[in-house]
C-alpha cells in the first residue's frame, strides 16, 4: 500500500512502469458485471417520440473495467424496459454496447461509437441504417475545442460517484463525428445511475474526487492538471500517468 511518506518521485516511477507494461501487453478483457443501472436515454428514445424522463428511463445491465473507471452499458436497446414500450419489437437488429470513460469525474468522455442499427427497409429503403452516438463535447472536441472551453459552456459530462450525466447527446448516420445532429425532438441528456451495491464492490467511492492528488513530472504536487501537459494522478493506492486534455 502506498503511504503518505512515499515521495512523489516514486509515484512517478511506478506510474511510468505501469504505463510501459500496459503498452507492451494486449489490453485485457476485464469487464465485470456490477448489476443493473437506471438508464435515462438521450440518444434513441426521442426518435420514437419518448421525450419525458419516465418514458426515456429503463434498467440496463452495466459492466465496469476492473482496472479503470470505465463503464459499459450493455445493449440498452434490446432490454425489456425498452422493447416493452412497443407493440412490436423495435427495429434495431444488432446488439450495441455504450462505453463511457469516467476517469476524470469532471470531464467524462464518450467516444463516437455505434449505438443502434435499424433493420433493412425501416429507416433506409433496402439497407440497414447504423446510428452512431456521443455527446456535444465529443463533437466540439472533433472540431478543435479544448475541454476548458467545452466546460465553460456547460457541455461537459460528469460523474458524481453514483450517477453519470452525459450532456447534450447527439446521433449521426456515419462514423464521422462531423455528422452529429439531434432528432427533431431536440437534444437530451443521458443519465446512468449505477447500482448502489457496486460502488463498494468495485472500489468506487460514493464521494466524488476522494483522495485524488495531481503531480507534475518533477514529482511536485499541483492543484490541477495543465491542459496539454502530462501529469500523475493518484487516487488512493493507484497512480497513473495521464495527458491533460
Please indicate, yes or no, if residue 74 is contained in any of the structural domains: yes
Please indicate, yes or no, if residue 59 is contained in any of the structural domains: yes
Q: Are residues 160 and 192 in the same domain?
A: yes
Task: Please state, for a pLDDT cut of 90, what percent of the chain lies above it.
Answer: 59
Q: How many domains does the chain contain in total?
A: 2
Angle at the Cα of 102 from the Cα atoms of 132 and 46, rounded to 5 degrees? 35
pLDDT of residue 20: 46
Q: What is the pLDDT of residues 52-93, one digit of tens each?
A: 999 999 999 999 998 889 999 999 999 999 999 988 778 888
Q: Are residues 155 and 227 in the same domain?
A: no
Look at the alpha carbons of 21, 23, 26, 27 in this order and tell me if their dihedral is positive or negative.
positive
Please indicate, yes or no, if residue 56 is contained in any of the structural domains: yes
Cell of 149: 472551453
Provide the mean pLDDT of the chain: 83
Please indicate, yes or no, if residue 1 is contained in any of the structural domains: no
pLDDT of residue 175: 95
pLDDT of residue 231: 80
Q: Are residues 148 and 237 in the same domain?
A: no
Q: Are residues 80 and 191 in the same domain?
A: yes
Mean pLDDT in residue range 15-31: 52
Q: Which domain holds residue 62?
A: 33-201
**202: pLDDT strictly greater than 60:** no
Please indicate, yes or no, if residue 2 is contained in any of the structural domains: no
Q: What is the pLDDT of residues 91-141, one digit of tens each?
A: 888 899 999 999 999 999 999 999 999 998 888 888 999 999 999 999 999
Least confident window among 2-6, 105-109, 129-133, 237-241 = 2-6
Q: Are residues 181 and 231 in the same domain?
A: no
Amino acid at each position: 500500500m502506498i503511504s503518505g511518506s512515499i515521495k512523489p518521485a516514486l509515484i512517478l516511477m511506478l506510474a511510468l512502469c505501469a504505463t510501459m507494461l500496459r503498452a507492451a501487453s494486449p489490453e485485457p478483457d476485464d469487464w465485470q458485471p456490477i448489476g443493473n443501472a437506471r438508464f435515462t436515454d438521450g440518444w434513441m428514445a426521442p426518435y420514437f417520440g419518448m421525450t419525458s424522463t419516465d418514458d426515456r428511463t429503463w434498467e440496463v445491465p452495466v459492466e465496469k473495467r476492473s482496472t479503470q473507471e470505465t463503464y459499459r452499458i450493455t445493449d440498452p436497446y434490446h432490454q425489456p424496459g425498452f422493447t416493452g414500450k412497443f407493440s412490436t419489437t423495435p427495429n434495431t437488429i444488432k446488439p450495441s454496447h455504450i462505453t463511457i470513460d469516467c476517469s476524470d469525474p469532471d470531464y467524462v468522455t464518450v467516444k463516437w461509437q455505434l449505438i443502434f442499427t435499424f433493420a433493412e427497409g425501416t429507416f433506409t429503403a433496402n439497407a440497414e441504417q447504423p446510428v452512431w452516438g456521443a455527446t456535444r463535447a465529443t463533437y466540439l472536441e472533433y472540431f478543435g475545442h479544448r475541454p476548458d472551453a467545452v466546460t465553460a459552456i456547460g457541455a461537459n459530462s460528469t460523474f458524481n460517484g453514483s450517477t453519470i450525466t452525459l450532456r447534450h447527446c447527439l446521433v449521426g448516420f456515419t462514423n464521422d463525428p462531423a455528422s452529429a445532429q439531434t432528432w427533431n425532438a431536440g437534444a437530451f441528456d443521458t443519465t446512468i445511475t449505477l447500482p448502489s451495491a457496486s460502488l463498494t464492490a468495485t472500489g468506487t467511492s460514493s464521494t466524488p474526487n476522494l483522495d485524488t492528488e495531481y503531480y507534475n513530472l518533477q514529482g511536485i504536487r499541483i492543484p490541477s492538471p495543465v491542459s496539454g501537459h502530462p501529469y500523475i494522478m493518484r487516487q488512493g493506492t493507484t497512480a497513473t500517468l495521464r495527458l491533460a486534455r
